[in-house]
């Protein structure tokens, strides 16, 4: 396939990177995992995404940072142990299906090499559509091509780049969350929402718009097609225990994930879109 004018392919370590450079932004997408690694809008030149300095770019392991695609399940598999956390497409090769230069953005569509894998029965077509301009719009489209209804869980597991987790506020969330670190206990969302410890929370609310404020970096996040927002930071001890994360890395990242954690049904012939917009 012919790439559009603003796109190019560049091998880095063991991975083929798709580079988008247009008038409005610069972005890097790893074709391993269909994984956006970097998004820098040119109007302010601020990197919106965090990528671990220790991330393994070996085309084997999931990449720590950027926007991992969790599909067809989020977290641990619901019934089978031993299956990969967050599903199997983040460790697959994806390819570019089409690419278009538009005045305000570049539009790229990617597909994984297969959507079938152990632990998921559905027959599907999966596409990741990226709209790269002043903002980054990322859509994960799951189409049921089989004859039976299917159910999946998923997340756009975005690692946001922040100035300092100790001076960071997330606005736009309210209600209760389920605390994964306390047996899914239901706890009320703090106001202001700031961070001083390991955080792993499933907020069962669907705000359209959230903002992360940290020093000079203010990032706006819009979500659609989700049933939850997941907020994650591993903090100091867990970071030390993770091979692909530098010890102090947790200070400069916050995951705010547009997620389906409760199970999204898709009827035969229908499709569902999970979307996150970052600006």
Q: Pick the binder of ligand BG6 from 99, 165, 221, 257 (CB under 6 A).
A: 257
Closest approach, Cβ 147 to ligand BG6, in A, equals 32
Examine residue 232 and tell whether it contacts ligand BG6 (CB under 6 A): yes
- Smaller CB separation from ligand BG6, 235 or 279: 235
- Smaller CB separation from ligand BG6, 111 or 180: 180
Closest CB to ligand BG6 belongs to which residue? 85
Widest distance between CA atoms in the chain: 51
CA distance to 109, 136, 243, per residue, from 55 (Å) = 25, 22, 9
Q: Which residue has the tokens 């997408």?
A: 29
Q: Pick the binder of ligand BG6 from 75, 117, 146, 207 (CB under 6 A).
A: 75
Buried b vs exposed e over 113-125: b needs ≥16 C-beta within 10 Å? eebeeeebebebe
Examine residue 77 and tell whether it contacts ligand BG6 (CB under 6 A): no
Q: Pick the binder of ligand BG6 from 85, 116, 248, 270 (CB under 6 A).
A: 85
User: 34-63: which residues touch ligand BG6 (CB under 6 A)?
Assistant: 62
- Smaller CB separation from ligand BG6, 230 or 254: 230
User: How far apart are the two ends of the chain, measured CA to CA in Å?
Assistant: 30
- Closest of 98, 69, 113 to residue 7, by C-alpha: 98
Examine residue 195 and tell whether it contacts ligand BG6 (CB under 6 A): no
- Closest of 39, 29, 36 to residue 68, by C-alpha: 36
Closest approach, Cβ 259 to ligand BG6, in A, equals 8
Examine residue 276 and tell whether it contacts ligand BG6 (CB under 6 A): no
Examine residue 209 and tell whether it contacts ligand BG6 (CB under 6 A): no
3-state secondary structure of 62: coil
- Smaller CB separation from ligand BG6, 85 or 166: 85
Beta-bridge mates of residue 158: none
Examine residue 200 and tell whether it contacts ligand BG6 (CB under 6 A): yes
Size of the site for ligand BG6 (CB under 6 A): 10
Q: Which residue has the tokens 């409760």?
A: 262
Q: Pick the binder of ligand BG6 from 111, 180, 220, 240 (CB under 6 A).
A: 180
Closest approach, Cβ 230 to ligand BG6, in A, equals 5
Examine residue 157 and tell whether it contacts ligand BG6 (CB under 6 A): yes
Number of separate helices (H) and strands (E) present in the chain: 1, 20
Closest approach, Cβ 157 to ligand BG6, in A, equals 6
Residue 146: is it exposed, middle or buried by C-beta count within 10 angstroms (0-12/13-18/19+)? middle
Q: Which residue has the tokens 């990741």?
A: 128
Alpha helices in the chain (DSSP H): 235-241
* Binding positions for ligand BG6, rule: CB under 6 A: 62, 75, 85-86, 157, 180, 200, 230, 232, 257
């Amino acid at each position: 396939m012919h790439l559009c004018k603003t796109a190019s392919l560049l091998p880095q370590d063991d991975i083929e990177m798709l580079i988008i450079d247009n008038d409005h932004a610069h972005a890097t997408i790893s074709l391993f995992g269909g994984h956006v690694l970097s998004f820098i809008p040119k109007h302010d030149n601020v990197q919106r995404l965090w990528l671990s300095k220790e991330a393994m770019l070996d085309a084997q392991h999931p990449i720590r940072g950027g926007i991992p695609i969790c599909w067809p399940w989020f977290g641990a598999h619901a019934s089978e142990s031993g299956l990969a956390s967050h599903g199997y497409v983040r460790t697959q090769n994806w390819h570019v299906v089409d690419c278009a230069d538009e005045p305000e953005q570049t539009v790229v569509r990617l597909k994984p090499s297969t959507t079938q894998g152990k632990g998921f029965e559905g027959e599907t077509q999966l596409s990741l559509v990226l709209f790269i301009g002043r903002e980054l719009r990322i859509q994960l489209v799951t189409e049921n091509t089989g004859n039976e209804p299917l159910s999946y869980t998923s997340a756009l597991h975005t690692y946001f780049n922040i100035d300092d987790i100790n001076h960071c506020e997330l606005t736009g969330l309210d209600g209760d969350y389920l605390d994964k670190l306390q047996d899914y206990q239901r706890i009320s969302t703090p106001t202001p929402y700031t961070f001083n410890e390991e955080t792993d929370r499933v907020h069962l609310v669907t705000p359209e718009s959230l903002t992360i404020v940290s020093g000079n970096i203010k990032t706006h996040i819009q979500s659609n097609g989700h049933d939850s927002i997941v907020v994650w930071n591993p903090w100091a001890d867990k970071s030390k225990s993770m091979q692909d994360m530098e010890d102090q890395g947790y200070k400069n990242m916050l995951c705010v994930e547009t997620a389906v954690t409760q199970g999204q049904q898709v009827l035969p012939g229908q499709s569902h879109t999970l979307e996150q917009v970052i600006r």
